[in-house]
Each structure stands twice: as C-alpha cells, then as structure tokens.
Amino acid sequence: MRRSAFRLRRHPFDFAAARLRSGCSALLAAALLLLGACSPQWVAVTTTLDRVVLSVTGAAGEVLIVGGAQGNGAATLAKKFDGHAWADLPLSSPDTATLWWVARVGDSTFMVGEHGTVYRDGVKAPALTDATLFGVWGASSDEVWAVGGSPLGNGDNDVLLRFDGASWAKVPSPEPLGVAYFKVWGSARDDVWVVGQQGAAFHYDGSAWSRVTTGVRSTLLTVTGRSRSDVWAVGGPPAVLARFDGTVWKNEEAVRGFGADGNRDGARRRGGGGGAGRSALAAGSRHLGRRQRSACARRFARHLGAVAG
C-alpha cells in the first residue's frame, strides 16, 4: 500500500503574532483579521511510503520518522528528510521490527519498538525484554528512559528501562500493575512522568519512582508538558484529558483524540520553538506530511514583516 507524506507549517496567526510590535498594534491587529481568512494548505512531500509511520520528530533541520509493517514482514521503517529528499537511516541490525517512537536527546537519536528494540544513532542495543517499547525520552545523553509492555497481557509488562550513557538496564516498577506503559516525558532529569494502561502514572524525582493517582481508569496513551506544574496526559476509552498542576492530577474534559501536544501514536503537531520552528509535522498509518501557509497568508505575512520590522 502506498503511503503519502505532508508537512504542516505554523498557522498564519502565530506567524504574525510573533512579529507584533507595540507601536503598530492597531494596524497589525487589523491585518491579523485578514490573515485569519487565509487557510493553511497541505503540501505532499512524498507519496511512496509503504509502511505505517508511528512517530515523527524534527531537529537540526531534519525530520525523522519511524514505523514499520506491524508484523507483515517488511523491513523496519527509519528515514530522515533534509528538506529536499528522503533517505534511510543506517541501522546496525536491520530487521522487521516496527519502531514505535523516535526522540532526539542532545546530539543523539533514540528509536524504540517491538521485541525490546532500542537504537542509539543507528546502533542496536542488546534487548532486555521481548515486549514492545512504546516511548523514549531523555534529559541528556546519559539519562534516557524507555517504557513499554504487552497491552494484551501476553508478555512482559511494567517495562521501565534506563540508559546511563554507556548501557541500558531494567528498572523495577515501584508498584507493578501488570500493565503496559505507553509514554515517558519529563521537564528535567528530576521530573519525569510515565503513563500507561488503567490510568497508571508514575513520577521520578531524580532518585526514585513512585506511583501517582490520576483519578482515571482510562488508558493513558501519551504525556507531555511545559513545566513541572503544567503536565498533560490523554487517552481512552473513554476519552480523557488529564492535567497535573504541580500538586494533583485533574480530569479536565473528555476528548475524542488520543494525543497530547497534538501527539498520538501516529500524529504530532509542533508550533513555535524547538527544532521544527515554524513547521508542524504529522504522521500516521497512511500519511506523513506538512501543511504550509497559503499564498494569501504568505503575502500578508511579508507585508506585516515590512510594517513591523
């Protein structure tokens, strides 16, 4: 099956707002109203993907994607896009394992997936579990965490791995629940969160892990945040959006999506700051792509730049 790819650029409103100058507020505000009428457009980057794309990230002017055939026998999917062309990422032990997540940590790229697969900069580490690793995150190249499990209960669960810069090691769960962990994220090395099935959430304070009550029973599929006091987790069914305010988790509202930061197992949206900068990226079972400002929006943006620059 042929897969398509696109990329999404930041909404015109965000672009114009970033250029706002106090002396031109009234004029720019009027221009923003016009910009709002200009819809972004999706632009195809490639239409030749033949496997499922499960994760996408961007850094240092490159876009990285990972995925695979999910048991259908095709090779592991790991590619990079430099803005002009796609190329396979070199892997030390290429096989058919589907990769579920990719993360940039410092100057290194970590990829994790089926059968306990872990790659660092294309070099495969010895597997410590047969379970699927669904998420990976790191505060630095010597403090990286990977999580996973067997959602159907037919293999290892409560899987928590740590990389110390030299090797990976299994870390015992503080409270084994027999569930899969799906994602890991932190604001710092002493503020790390893991979420998974049955509303499970665990926190690492730099020295030890502890279970934290979320008040929900839905599977939490991903977690992200902006600070220690602004952490979000989403999942389902039933759909749930939970927020940690630095003290307790609260169920904000029920939503239909399954991702935080526009993020799902197969989709991600990025705006402002970070590697992608002005772009937003999306990936899924059929698509990886980009969306860019329409010609109308670009003309207004250039005009705003001239007025406010």
Domain extent at residue 222: 128-261
Within a domain: 273? no
Closest to 99 in 3D by CA, of 56, 49, 60, 59: 56
Pairing verdict, β 240-244 and 279-283: unpaired
- Whether residue 138 lies inside any domain: the answer is yes
Q: Region 99-123: what's the mean pLDDT? A: 96
- 191 CB neighbour count, 10 Å cutoff: 18
Say if residues 254 and 273 touch (Cβ distance below 8 Å): no
Other residues' Cβ atoms within 10 Å of the Cβ of residue 218: 21
Residue 62 lies in a domain: no
CATH number, position 251 = 2.130.10.10
Residues 305/19, Cβ–Cβ less than 8 Å? yes
- Mean per-residue pLDDT, 42-60: 83
The average pLDDT across 153-172 equals 97
| Confidence (pLDDT) at 1 | 53
Residue 57 belongs to a domain: no
- Residue 150, in any domain of the structure: yes
Q: Is the pLDDT of residue 27 over 90?
A: no
Mean pLDDT to the nearest integer, 154-174: 97
Beta strand 240-244 with 249-253: parallel, antiparallel or unpaired?
antiparallel
Residue range 218-261, pLDDT digits in tens: 999 999 999 999 999 999 999 999 999 999 999 886 444 444 44
Tell me which residue of 128, 105, 103, 104 sits closest to 115, measured CA to CA: 128
* DSSP category for residue 218: S
Q: Is residue 184 part of a domain?
A: yes
> Does residue 198 fall inside a structural domain?
yes
pLDDT of residue 151: 96
Q: If you ran DSSP here, which 8-state letter would residue 306 be given?
A: H
> What's the total number of domains in the chain?
1
pLDDT tier at 267, thresholds 50, 70, 90: very low
CA distance 250 to 242: 5
- Residue 157 forms part of a structural domain: yes
